[in-house]
Amino acid sequence: MNLAIDIGNTAVKWATFEGGSLMEHGIGMPQGMTAHDRVLLCASGEVPETLATLPRLSADTPLPIRLDYKTPQTLGPDRVAAACGAWALHPGEDCLVIDAGTCITVDFVDCEGVYHGGAILPGLEMNLRSLHTFTAKLPLISLEGVTKAPVLGRSTEESILAGTLGATMLALAGYVALYRQKCPSLHVLLTGGDAGRLTAAGAAGWEVRPHLTLAGLNAVMEWGKN
């Protein structure tokens, strides 16, 4: 049994796997860590003291994919894990991973299992907070309950939503279109805390994988057995 732990900027998420099958998952501190055959964590946020001694995914970890990245030591382990998860789901096929969390990352893994990097964008919440923080009069808008962004904002709140959720979707759709020019059979995988909002906002046809990063950590552990 493998235990995968993803330490993000806002939450700790975990899952247990038997082979390639997801058994359990949750948010918060995992229990019974010593009862598992293998444990691996990735950390884009601060690691709690109780997890500090656990094995971590890094640029030196043996991976089922190959990294073609200029600065692998600066590459976020969550991006690597999600890319490994995509490759485990679609081996031998081109994949674009969109992880909509605190930041939004777009990462490309080609059909030969080579990770090439991608793009980092501000997340939805970060966009909203920056508009409020760096202006004198724009209010802080909540995304709670928002499922669709207006194209034409007819109030300040609607205009902010159009510029945040709507423009983010347009940017991501643009990336997908650019990659599909060279890779027509591209798989687009969507994960992260805001995946549901992006899906509701128009991310039609993208493969939603809520536990992609955790599945990628499991794929790395399974690869390490060979």
Active site members: 78
Q: Are 43 and 80 in contact (CB under 8 A)?
A: no
Backbone torsions φ then ψ of 43, nearest 5 degrees: -135, 110
24 closest CA partner among 211, 212, 220, 196: 211
The residues with which 121 forms a beta bridge, in sequence order, are 104
Tokens of 123: 């997340």
Helix or strand run (H / E) with residue 77: helix 77-89
For residue 41, the one-letter residue type is L
Who's near 201: CB < 8 A, 6+ residues apart?
147, 148, 149, 165, 166, 169
Burial of 202 (0-12, 13-18, 19+ CB in 10 A): middle
At residue 104's C-alpha, the angle toward residues 155 and 142, to 5°, is 35
Nearest-angstrom CA–CA distance, 6 and 214: 6
